[in-house]
Amino acid sequence: MGLFRFIFSKTFLIQLVLAIIFVVVLTFLAMQWLEHTTNQGERLEVPDLAEMSLSEVETRLDEMDLRYEILDSANFNPDYPRFSVIEQVPRAGNYVKENRKIYLTLNPSGYRKVVIPDLIRRTRRQAEPTLKSLGFEIGEVTYKPDIAEDAVLELRHNGKLIEVGDELMKTSKIDLVLGDGSGNYRRPTVDSTETEENTDEDQFDF
């Protein structure tokens, strides 16, 4: 009888109410601390960083408490400014937590250089697809006397003779000098091209 009398006593009820209030307050404070430390429920929309320079990116992300990391540069894209952002992960419009890292891919300063393959004496049908697959453009096609018709005699860029192993910027325009099937051909040296060929007799044996 003494236990039941204590349970229903005013003192016990007051202590029970205080204990319940203490547990509720403690639980509320714990949830607030957890939410603050994990940024739970706080989401930020990723901005569109396309075409921005690094200084612009840094300013924009600092304002939003976001970070960034630069990945390797991609192939040059002429539609974007040099050294600007061309790709980002996560993409613009996605929602992330505060202090999230945004991964960026930058546009390089220009097209990379490509090594000129050995196409001398290859046919035009072989040479043109090879050059195009490497990213070059086919420029002017001219003919000189040679026993092999449509065989590649020379490759030139901006009027200068190109040697095998030389490097040219991707998208460079390469001129083809082909044989016309009419006679013999003597290939000029690099030195002779610096002063330009003045006569046909210096270039050909008939």
| 176 has pLDDT over 90 | yes
Mean pLDDT of 170-193: 78
Mean pLDDT score, 48-62: 93
pLDDT at 191 over 80: no
What mean pLDDT, rounded, does the chain reach? 83
Domains 43-106 and 113-202 alike in fold = yes
Q: Give percent above pLDDT 90 in the chain.
A: 53
* Lowest mean per-residue pLDDT among 8-17, 19-28, 104-113: 8-17
Query: Where along the chain do its domains lie?
Result: 43-106, 113-202
Residue 99 CA, distance from chain mean position: 24
Q: Which residue has the tokens 């490097």?
A: 167
pLDDT per residue over 75-115, tens digit each?
788 889 988 999 999 999 999 998 999 999 999 878 888 99
Classify residue 177 as exposed, middle or buried by CB count within 10 Å of its CB (0-12, 13-18, 19+): buried
CA gap 175, 197 in Å, rounded: 16
CATH no. of 113-202: 3.30.10.20
- Please give the average per-residue pLDDT across 26-35, as a whole number: 78
Q: Are 184 and 205 in contact (CB under 8 A)?
A: yes
Alpha carbon distance 112, 76 (integer Å): 8
200 — pLDDT class (breaks 50, 70, 90): very low
CATH domain 43-106 topology: Trypsin Inhibitor V; Chain A (3.30.10)
pTM over 0.95: no
